[in-house]
Chain A
């Protein structure tokens, strides 16, 4: 008993937790439109859950359900053994629902609309555990309103726990009744009864075949209500299937089974509601996929474009290239005649390129120029806030504003089709491109540094250096020899005159030409192979991770919407698990749990 109670409390706690989760899900802010109807549905579901929770311990409400003329009232009369509900031959007979309750039962706990039903009190033992309702039919009404039988039936169904589904040979395949049963069975257990056993053939097998795809059926009864009523009146226990039905009802609907029935009903309701919520959202997921794909596609397109522009600009910045490469080489070579020559040339190029940097700036130049100046320049640029300026700034990063805007226009179409809230979409349209630029520049600088290192080290090995130094020294050495010999030997010993300007001016000219030739040769050598490396660099940059930052807010919103759908699905799984964990030895029917 103690364990039972604990298990029951545990179950209640799980239901409460589920309820809280559902409430949280339904109350969270969403900006993806298709989620809104699902949220509204869950809200309604929560309000439907409430009465089920409140009347947890009250007697089960058992109602008749079936087409007109199938003998619902006769069945009720036969069950209680007296004429409480008028059975007739004019259709429909029952217009006002009749509620049969035990004298001791407090009907107020059931929250029934007591002003619109007739209440009959009785002290029958059967009614100690249940409240019986004779409901109107669902199939004589063409257009539903409050004053029609279908309207009255719909009003009562939310309060019912078990339906006695009554049918006949004529009506067991009626489309209208079947459709209404589908709706009613969402939160009710079912008992299947074929009446008119006195005059109709037994169609239970065919009936079962029709119902089995949708419902789980343990028992089906084939009863003769008229004979049962007569037997009851004579004080006999009804014979045949009717007797079996009465035993079945008193066993399955006993007080100890209440919780089980209501649990099953509650979970059924939740399961159906969540499924429908998921069904509401699912068709819209396609547009969400499209949007995400489009974001990736546009990113890639812009990235490729930007990398391409970047590569083109790199190739155009010849002077800067030379400077970087020369700086790298001289740094590793230290002091020597040829290195000195390189240094001199580099200093002169430096002046030129500084001037160029101030004249026109581009990402490629920036990357070549180096991180320190680049960061300063970037910070300066980022302080501009207006949209137009931000757009024009894109040009500096190698993105054509028109290119970017085209992507935006296209994406706006996908955003529109995916039914995202438009306002917030336009707010964040240009966000993040500064981060993209920074990330891109960073990555490009690093890759360029590596590229320059590689190119420089390839051309500054000791053998190369030795050759260049040695060959370059030939002419200066010759000059020094010539001047030295003239000064120390010829003029001292042979009294020849010292060399005059006519010697030095051509010598300087030839030295200059000699140096220039070597410089030209060496710089050409440095540049060799760099072009193909730049193309390779462009390719790798077009697949850079930096592009993931483009249109980031859109991706975030997509992911959030997806998460919210996933939450709904996981709630559904929880309900399914709870349904399966429900140990049910009940023989009552109901809808199949959907898999």
Chain B
């Protein structure tokens, strides 16, 4: 026993550690949207019983519990020896627990830590407990009647139409060591009553049954039957049984007799209470219930209930269940994530090719930058002169055909069209995914699929699309691609350079020839300028048309590999590559935006949820649990599936160590 006590006291640190880890884990796994920990019985027990009581010196929490209007407060007042809690013929009167403590208890202990969640107030009158309201109060006062190291509580009911009462009663039950179960003929088999005491049985609380409002002597024949049904239904093994008559006057006068009775089946007897010498020998003299309380073996009961609570915590219905729940939920998220990532969301087709003229222009510009020496100067001069000469022609053309749109506008429009078409396909796919029946995935996809979300996404995408600088994008790509070309094929590059130089040499020659034939400047110059442009354009237009087709890739490949390939075929292949590279970079742009603005939060959430069982908090909880379990096993408490320890070895120990002698009032 002492050994067991020491081990349990040692566990206090571990339990605190476990609690911290659990709180942290709950915070970290918020993304799994699990039910709050404070809704689970074992966590409530951890917070209400183990944290405040483990490691402290032994005191007992004794609570009077039961259905509404069956005389809980009457029993409590009898124990208190005065009218501590108001009684009334109307049901559901007691709203808040009332606590009686031995004199001087409050100087040694803080009631607020013993009863977390309650606003602890000093008792002023018996009517305190009748207060309405959502706030949970606990009214307390000291009483010399209460045995040392014992807290006596009156609790709200567990079955009325005020659920707030059940919640408060549950909270007290979780902290209690001894429950005084007040039962009546009408209520001993009620569903709500059975459910309440079944939970108490799971935590191995000590229970004293009081059959109140009995019609004596005829009910003497019935209470053993009631008791049997109650015990069978709840799994409780009462320490002691009392029977009280239905006598309203004596109840009011606090002189109700409580007759001590034997538990019907002797094998159910427990030895945590010292037998009264006159037990079972008739109703007279009625021993006081109070006396029984003073005969409780404090340390043993304390040890047992703490152990029961620890077993609950470490058992399969405890924290382990929470971990399993996290694993399960995380697995669900994993399958959702797999489902989402396994799907190809959209095939991109009909993406527009960049306008050939602009592509050519940027190639020309790049080429112009590569020119050096006299050919560069000649070309630059001629081009400038040509542009200058063509200026009036261009402006006349503009005037005739009205204002023209900027060069990239048409492409931008076409690309936006393709973007929206792709987005549409993606949404259709997501809708299909959401309707596949994976509830979790559906829950995450629904917000993405909502009309407002779609509108916002499209608006944002449109804004970002409007901000794209296509010409710079193209310039960058052309630069990079042609640079690679120059590096990889120096021969070709030189060949083109030589051609270009030859053209530069030919240009002044042409001018001389033209002026000789009488056409002369400036018309001749403009014509050659136009012609040179046109040649480039037509050549590459043809290339562009071919490149736009599906055959281009094949043609390009052969062009590069074949040594007999002409320069034009080679150019075709390069050109196609340029266009494809541009399209690829644009599609990547869209994919990146979608990832970031549309599915980003979802995939991030999924990833976080999938990783939940790998978090340090999770592992900390696992480790603490393992240690607690190990310590419990070392102290001789086998973990059992049903959480009910028979306490065999515990009893053997207690037989030798009878502390109760010293506790007798």
Contact = CB atoms under 8 A, between A and B. Distances in A.
Interface of A: 67-70, 89-92, 139-142, 168-176, 178, 199-201, 203, 206, 210, 290-291, 294, 316, 318, 400-402, 405-406, 408-417, 422
Contacts of A174: 67-68, 159-161, 190, 192
A140 B91 contact: no
> Which 4 residue pairs of A and B lie closest in terms of their CB atoms, listed nearest first?
A414-B451, A69-B186, A413-B451, A201-B89
Given A412-B454, A414-B451, 10 more contacts: A67-B186, A90-B225, A91-B226, A141-B191, A174-B160, A203-B89, A203-B90, A203-B91, A206-B91, A402-B413
Contacts of B413: 400, 402
Contacts, number: 149
Nearest to B166: A175
B41 to A, nearest CB: 16
B454 to A, nearest CB: 4
B161 A89 contact: no
B462 A406 contact: yes
A416 B449 contact: yes
B99 interface: no
Interface residues of B, number: 55
B187 A142 contact: no
B437 interface: no
B189 interface: yes
A492 B109 CA distance: 145
Contacts of A409: 420, 423-424, 427, 454, 458
A421 to B, nearest CB: 12
A516 to B, nearest CB: 17
B416 interface: yes
Nearest to B188: A91
Contact of B421 (A168, A291, A405, A412): A405
A510 B462 CA distance: 57
Interface string B7-45: 000000000000000000000000000000000000000
B195 interface: yes
Per DSSP, chain B at the interface is: helix
A67 B70 CA distance: 14
A415 B423 CA distance: 17
Nearest to A88: B222
B455 interface: yes
B452 interface: yes
A402 to B, nearest CB: 4
Nearest to A401: B417
Nearest to A418: B451
A406 B420 contact: yes
A318 B403 CA distance: 11
A140 B189 contact: yes
Interface string B418-456: 011101100110010000000000000010011111110
Given A68-B186, A69-B186, A400-B413, A175 B192 contact: yes
Contacts of A422: 431
A36 to B, nearest CB: 16
A244 B439 CA distance: 59
B94 to A, nearest CB: 12
Interface of B: 67-70, 89-92, 159-163, 184-192, 194-195, 215, 219, 222, 225-226, 229, 246, 248, 402-403, 413, 416-417, 419-421, 423-424, 427-428, 431, 446, 449-455, 458, 462
B167 to A, nearest CB: 13
A413 B453 contact: yes
Contact of A142 (B68, B185, B194, B453): B194
B186 A413 contact: no
Nearest to B426: A409
A69 B213 CA distance: 13
Contacts of A68: 186, 189-190
Given A141-B191, A316-B402, A409-B454, A170 B90 contact: no
Contacts of A173: 68-69, 91-92, 160-162
B249 to A, nearest CB: 12
B67 A169 contact: no
Contacts of B450: 413-414, 416-417
B159 A175 contact: yes
Contacts of A408: 424
A90 B232 CA distance: 14
Contact of A170 (B69, B229, B449): B69
Contacts of A401: 417
Contacts of A410: 451, 454-455, 458
A410 B455 CA distance: 5
A139 B190 CA distance: 6
Given A89-B219, A90-B222, A410-B455, A405 B191 contact: no
B451 A142 contact: no
Nearest to A141: B191
B256 to A, nearest CB: 15
A92 B187 contact: no
Contact of B402 (A170, A318, A413, A416): A318
Contacts of B68: 170, 173-174
Nearest to B225: A90
A147 B248 CA distance: 38
Contacts of A169: 69, 89, 91
